C-alpha cells in the first residue's frame, strides 16, 4: 500500500495580500512487498523444505511434493515415516477455497529421500517418484534397496492414503526424475541409472547395456520404464530400456501424446543415438538431447527421433511439453555463445558480458526455448536472460499455444514488460548474490523479437525460486520456495513464513498482455525503495514540527493533503 506522499500548506497573511507556499515532501510509505496477489499460502515447518513439483486437480486442489527437514508441518501426519530424523519427502494437499482443510503427510524411511515429480490420473490417484537411501520404504511388491540411492514410485488416493509403492533400480545408483501418465493411466518414468543390471524387457531398445558398450558402472545412462498403474511391481514393467552412449546421460523430463513418449535431458556422449536429428554432432562438453519413442510401432516400440541440442558451452534440457499441433516445446539452460537460435528468436545470443557464456563448467547463463515440429524440423529457438545466471524450472502451454516459463535468476537486468508485477531483482542493491524467481509469457504465434508478452521477477529480500506454474479456470497459480519474509503483499495472507525456507503458493488473475521494447532496461530504481523506519520517522517528525511552528504564527492556513 502507499500512504501520504506530500502535504501542501497554503498560508495566507491577514495583513498582507501575500501567499506562502510550503511543500513538505514525504517518502512514499510502502510495504516491503512489491507484489499484490489475490491470495498466498506459506507452507512448511520450523526447518528447511523445498518443493520440486506440484499438480492441480479438476477441483482446484493443489498438491506439492519435495523434501523436508521439518517434523512440524501445520496439519501434518507422519504415519508412513519410519524415521523423521533424516531428510524425508512430503505431500501437501491444499486449496484456496478451503485452506483450513489443508493436509500434509511426511513419509520416508531410515535414510534420506527426495521427491521429484507428481502426477494425478483420471481417478484422482496421486503418483510420486523420487530417490531414496532408505531400505525400509513401504512397498507393495518384493523390491528392495539395491544401490546407495535407488529410485522409487509411490501411489496415494485423493485423501493422501498410501496405496502402493516400489523401488526402481539396480545394484548401483539410480535416480527417477521424470513422470507422466498416458491416457490409459499407464505411467512413464525416466531418469538416470548407473546400474549395469537394471531390469529391462525383451522388446527394449537396449536390453543389455553391455552389448552396446554404453555402461560400465562409472557413467550414467538414461532409463525409460512403462508401468501399469494398477500393478505397481518392479519386476513386471510393461516396457523397460536403457538409452545413451559411452559417457554420462541423464533424463530430466518426459511427456506423452498420441502413443509417443518424448524424453529430454543432458548427455556427454558423442555417440548418443541419433535419428532424423537437427544437430549431427555434440558441440560442447554437455549437450541437451531430445528422444522420441513411438509406442504404436509393431512389433515393439521404436526410437523415431533423437537429437543433440546445444552449442560450445554447457546445455541441458529440463522440461518438454507437446502443444495442440504436436509440436515439441523444450526449455532448458545454456551457457553456449553459439546456441543455434533461429532468425526470429527473441534473443539470439548469450547475454553480453556474461561470465558463464561458452563455459563448460556446468554453470548456465541463459534459458532456452526450442520448438521442433511434428516432422522433426527446428522451427524456433531462442535464448532469454540477463547479464548473470538464469535457470528454468517449468514450462506450460495455454489454450492459445503461448509458452509460460518459470525459474530463478541472479540478473538485475532481465528483459521485463511494462506489466511486470515486480521490476526489481531481489529488492537489494546487489542482486547477483541471491536469486529471485521469474516468470515469462512468450507468444508462439509471433515468434519474433516482439514475442515477449509478460515478464516479471517474483521475490523478496532473500532467496526465492519459482518452481511451477498452473492454470485453473481464469487464474494463475505459482508455486515455489522462499526464505523471504516479505515476499508478497496479499489480500488474503493465510499464514506466515519462517526464516529457514518455506514453500509458497499464490493465486491471482492471469496477467494481461504487454510488450517488451527491445533494448529497454527495466531495473529497480533505488530511489523508490521503501525507506528505513528511522529515516521515515525522522522525516515525519521534522515535517510535523514545522507545521506546528507555522500554526503558532498569525497566519490563516488552508491545508490540503496530497495522497499518492
**pLDDT tens profile 508-522:** 999 888 876 544 443
The average pLDDT across 485-503 equals 59
The average pLDDT across 256-276 equals 96
Q: Which of 17-21, 430-434, 457-461, 487-491 has the lowest mean pLDDT?
A: 17-21
Q: Tell how strand 378-384 and strand 366-372 pair up.
A: antiparallel
The average pLDDT across 262-269 equals 97
pLDDT of residue 359: 52
pLDDT of residue 497: 53
List Cα–Cα distances, 174 to 198, 289, 550, in angstroms. 9, 20, 77
Residue 30 banded pLDDT, cuts 50, 70, 90: very low
CA dist., res. 170 & res. 151, Å (int): 9
CA dist., res. 492 & res. 534, Å (int): 29
pLDDT of residue 529: 32
Residue 281 half-sphere exposure toward CB, CA atoms < 13 A? 3
pLDDT of residue 277: 96
CA dist., res. 317 & res. 268, Å (int): 13
Residue 18 banded pLDDT, cuts 50, 70, 90: very low
pLDDT of residue 264: 98
Question: Greater confidence, 74 or 382?
Answer: 382
* In 269-327, beta strands by DSSP E: 287-294, 302-309, 315-322
- Residue 19 in this model has a pLDDT that exceeds 60: no
- Residue 291 in this model has a pLDDT that exceeds 70: yes
- Residue 231 in this model has a pLDDT that exceeds 80: yes
What is the percentage of the chain residues whose pLDDT exceeds 90? 52
List Cα–Cα distances, 148 to 134, 171, 388, in angstroms. 9, 8, 36
> Residue 535 belongs to what domain range?
1-30+531-564
Q: Which of 222-226, 290-294, 381-385 has the lowest mean pLDDT?
A: 381-385
> 90 - beta bridge partners?
66, 106
Question: Greater confidence, 332 or 284?
Answer: 332
**Domain presence at residue 298:** no
List Cα–Cα distances, 305 to 53, 139, 277, 331, 497, in angstroms. 27, 35, 7, 18, 46
CB within 8 A of 517, min separation 6: which ones?
none
**Domain presence at residue 387:** no
Residue 343 half-sphere exposure toward CB, CA atoms < 13 A? 0
**Domain presence at residue 553:** yes
Comparing C-alpha atoms, which of 391, 457, 469, 386 is closest to residue 428? 457
| Long-range CB contact pairs, 25-30, < 8 A, 24+ | 26/539, 26/540, 26/543, 27/530, 27/531, 27/535, 27/536, 27/539, 28/2, 28/3, 28/528, 28/530, 28/564, 29/1, 29/2, 29/3, 29/4, 29/530, 29/536, 30/1, 30/2, 30/3, 30/530
List Cα–Cα distances, 161 to 83, 124, 555, in angstroms. 18, 12, 76
pLDDT one-digit tens code per residue, 300-331: 999 999 999 999 989 999 999 999 999 999 99
Look over the chain and give the mean of its residue pLDDT values, rounded to a whole number.
80
**Domain presence at residue 535:** yes
**Domain presence at residue 228:** no
3-state SS, residue 540? helix
pLDDT of residue 255: 98
List Cα–Cα distances, 446 to 205, 344, 402, 405, in angstroms. 39, 9, 10, 17
**Domain presence at residue 557:** yes
Residue 199 banded pLDDT, cuts 50, 70, 90: very high
**Domain presence at residue 552:** yes
List Cα–Cα distances, 548 to 9, 473, 538, 552, in angstroms. 12, 55, 15, 7
pLDDT of residue 28: 32
pLDDT of residue 228: 96
Q: Which of 50-64, 340-354, 411-425 has the lowest mean pLDDT?
A: 340-354
CA dist., res. 314 & res. 306, Å (int): 19
CA dist., res. 460 & res. 35, Å (int): 9
For 540, list phi and psi in degrees, rounded to 5.
-65, -40
CA dist., res. 83 & res. 75, Å (int): 18
Residue 337 banded pLDDT, cuts 50, 70, 90: confident
Q: What is the DSSP letter of 116?
A: E
pLDDT one-digit tens code per residue, 188-198: 999 999 999 99
**Domain presence at residue 549:** yes
Residue 137 banded pLDDT, cuts 50, 70, 90: very high
Comparing C-alpha atoms, which of 523, 430, 507, 447 is closest to residue 475? 507
Q: What is the DSSP letter of 544?
A: H
CB atoms within 10 A of CB 322: 17
Take residue 441 and report the three cell numbers written for it.
Answer: 509469457
- Residue 334 in this model has a pLDDT that exceeds 60: yes
Query: Which residue reads 523471504 in cell numbers?
Result: 484
- Residue 58 in this model has a pLDDT that exceeds 60: yes
CA dist., res. 247 & res. 490, Å (int): 49
Residues in the chain: 564
CB atoms within 10 A of CB 465: 24
Residue 166 banded pLDDT, cuts 50, 70, 90: very high
Q: In the chain, how many domains are there?
A: 1
pLDDT of residue 195: 95
Decide: 301 and 295 in contact? Cβ < 8 Å.
yes
Question: Greater confidence, 513 or 25?
Answer: 513
pLDDT one-digit tens code per residue, 359-402: 555 566 899 999 999 999 999 999 998 888 899 999 999 999 99
The average pLDDT across 77-103 equals 75
How far does Cα 151 stand from its chain's mean position?
21
The average pLDDT across 244-272 equals 96
| Highest mean pLDDT (candidates 79-88, 168-177, 412-421, 497-506) | 168-177
List Cα–Cα distances, 51 to 96, 230, 269, in angstroms. 18, 27, 31
Residue 487 banded pLDDT, cuts 50, 70, 90: low
pLDDT of residue 77: 60
The average pLDDT across 502-513 equals 89
Decide: 51 and 66 in contact? Cβ < 8 Å.
yes
Comparing C-alpha atoms, which of 392, 459, 405, 456 is closest to residue 431? 459
pLDDT of residue 536: 41
Amino acid at each position: 500500500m502507499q500512504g501520504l506522499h506530500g502535504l501542501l500548506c497554503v498560508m495566507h497573511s491577514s495583513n498582507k495580500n501575500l501567499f506562502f507556499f510550503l511543500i513538505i515532501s514525504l517518502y512514499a510509505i510502502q510495504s516491503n512487498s512489491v507484489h499484490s496477489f489475490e491470495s498466498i499460502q506459506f507452507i512448511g515447518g520450523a526447518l528447511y523444505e523445498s518443493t520440486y513439483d506440484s499438480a492441480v486437480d479438476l477441483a482446484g486442489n493443489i498438491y506439492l511434493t519435495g523434501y523436508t527437514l521439518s517434523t512440524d508441518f501445520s496439519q501434518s501426519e507422519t504415519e508412513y515415516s519410519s524415521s523423521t530424523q533424516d531428510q524425508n519427502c512430503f505431500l501437501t494437499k491444499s486449496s484456496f477455497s478451503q485452506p483450513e482443510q489443508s493436509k500434509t503427510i511426511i513419509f520416508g524411511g531410515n535414510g534420506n529421500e527426495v521427491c521429484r515429480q507428481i502426477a494425478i490420473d483420471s481417478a484422482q490417484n496421486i503418483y510420486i517418484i523420487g530417490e531414496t537411501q532408505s531400505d525400509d520404504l513401504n512397498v507393495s511388491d518384493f523390491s528392495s534397496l539395491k544401490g546407495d540411492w535407488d529410485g522409487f514410485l509411490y501411489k496415494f488416493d485423493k485423501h493422501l492414503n498410501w496405496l502402493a509403492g516400489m523401488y526402481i533400480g539396480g545394484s548401483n545408483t539410480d535416480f527417477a526424475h521424470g513422470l507422466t501418465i498416458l491416457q490409459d493411466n499407464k505411467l512413464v518414468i525416466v531418469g538416470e541409472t548407473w546400474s549395469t543390471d537394471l531390469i529391462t524387457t525383451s522388446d527394449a531398445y537396449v536390453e543389455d547395456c553391455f552389448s552396446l558398450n554404453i555402461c560400465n558402472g562409472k557413467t550414467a545412462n538414461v532409463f525409460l520404464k512403462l508401468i501399469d498403474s494398477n500393478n505397481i511391481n518392479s519386476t513386471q514393467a510393461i516396457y523397460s530400456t536403457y538409452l545413451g552412449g559411452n559417457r554420462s546421460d541423464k533424463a530430466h523430463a518426459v511427456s506423452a501424446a498420441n502413443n509417443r513418449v518424448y524424453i529430454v535431458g543432458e548427455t556427454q556422449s558423442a555417440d548418443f543415438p541419433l535419428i532424423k536429428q537437427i544437430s549431427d554432432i555434440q558441440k560442447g562438453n554437455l549437450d541437451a538431447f531430445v528422444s522420441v519413442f513411438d509406442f504404436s510401432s509393431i512389433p515393439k516400440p521404436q526410437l523415431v527421433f533423437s537429437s543433440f541440442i546445444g552449442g560450445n558451452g554447457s546445455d541441458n534440457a529440463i522440461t518438454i511439453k507437446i502443444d495442440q499441433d504436436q509440436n515439441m516445446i523444450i526449455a532448458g539452460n545454456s551457457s553456449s555463445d553459439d546456441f543455434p537460435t533461429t532468425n526470429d528468436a527473441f534473443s539470439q545470443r548469450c547475454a553480453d558480458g556474461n561470465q558463464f557464456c561458452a563455459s563448460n563448467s556446468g554453470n548456465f547463463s541463459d534459458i532456452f526455448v526450442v520448438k521442433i515440429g511434428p516432422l522433426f524440423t527446428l522451427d524456433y529457438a531462442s535464448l532469454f536472460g540477463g547479464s548473470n545466471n538464469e535457470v528454468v524450472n517449468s514450462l506450460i502451454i495455454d489454450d492459445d499455444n503461448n509458452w509460460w516459463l518459470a525459474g530463478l535468476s541472479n540478473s538485475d537486468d532481465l528483459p521485463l514488460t511494462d506489466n511486470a508485477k515486480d521490476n526489481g531483482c531481489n529488492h537489494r542493491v546487489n542482486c547477483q548474490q541471491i536469486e529471485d524467481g521469474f516468470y515469462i509469457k512468450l507468444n508462439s504465434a509471433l515468434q519474433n523479437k516482439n514475442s515477449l508478452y509478460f515478464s516479471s521477477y517474483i521475490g523478496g529480500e532473500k532467496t526465492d525460486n519459482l518452481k511451477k506454474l498452473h492454470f485453473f479456470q481464469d487464474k494463475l497459480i505459482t508455486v515455489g520456495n522462499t526464505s523471504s519474509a516479505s515476499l508478497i503483499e496479499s489480500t488474503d495472507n493465510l499464514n506466515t513464513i519462517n526464516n529457514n525456507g518455506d514453500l509458497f503458493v499464490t493465486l491471482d488473475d492471469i496477467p494481461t498482455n504487454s510488450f517488451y521494447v527491445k533494448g529497454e532496461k527495466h531495473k529497480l530504481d533505488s530511489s523508490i525503495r521503501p525507506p528505513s523506519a528511522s529515516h521515515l520517522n525522522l522525516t515525519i517528525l521534522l515535517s510535523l514540527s514545522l507545521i506546528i511552528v507555522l500554526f503558532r504564527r498569525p497566519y490563516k492556513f488552508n491545508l490540503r493533503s496530497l495522497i499518492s
